[in-house]
Structure 1
Amino acid sequence: RVADLGCGNGVVGLAIALHEPEAELVFTDESYQAVASAEENFRAHVGPDRKAEFLVGDGLTELAPGSVDLVLNNPPFHSHQATTDRTARRMFADARRALRPGGELWVIGNRHLGYHVTLRRIFGNSELVASDAKFVVLRAVRTA
């Protein structure tokens, strides 16, 4: 079970859906417009018959603890005019709660935000999976 947390238009979850046809996907965002866009993109590229959940709400609060194998997240880092990691910290903690032991959180973020430090604080670990001059892909594993 894979959750695209803060799915926006769903492009991150869609990539997994296309690569892993057996994956059960959950797209979630606080924005009705984002979730509608994610569903439209999913249906256009994957088809109308593939099951997926599309939830509008606060993070992964509707999912039971330990019910997800993988969480994908490209967290927002702007709140009005300020650059902040407050939303990302909440999303990471929410992901940890929703993940089963051994489950993984993959984060796509701007390099300068230092998410690896926050992930180590919340998960006790963080691994750099890929990077370029501007972006990083990080992985954290729920150990217990």
Structure 2
Amino acid sequence: HGRFGLEITCAGDYHVDYHHTVEDVGICLGEALSAALGDKGGIIRYGDIILPMDEALILCAIDISGRAHLSYELFPPTEKVGDFDTELIKEFFLSLVRKAEITLHLRQLAGENSHHILEGAFKAFGRALSKSCAVDPYLEGKPASTKGML
């Protein structure tokens, strides 16, 4: 939903559980995002969305700030979706945020179905990330912030 054209292939220790695999995918995606953004010059920096997914409503706000922070308020009512532990979603986003050095706020505003809540969160993240990574025509390659440069 971010329209980045990414494709991720991974192999993990699924016979144990999904924890390390999910965490490692977050790490890799965060590192890739950080490398792609470089000095972050010329980007809009901020992106947000309120996204509906059936009965679920998810708020996502991103600041490509160079500072890692996750504010996570998703409350899926079940511990699993299929055989996937829903608590791993937070682990994924923690790993991604730390490596990408971004600030991410995810909030569940409504929702009763775990699948809809989590799918909505990922789609909202993709859309908000796309907005924050977009080129800002007013910056013309200049940094989005002067913090630490003055």
The alignment's TM-score, normalised by the length of structure 2, stands at 0.33
TM (norm. structure 1) is 0.34
User: Higher strand fraction: Structure 1 or Structure 2?
Assistant: 1
Which structure ranks higher in relative contact order (CA pairs < 8 Å, sequence separation ≥ 6)?
2
The structure number with the bigger radius of gyration is: 2
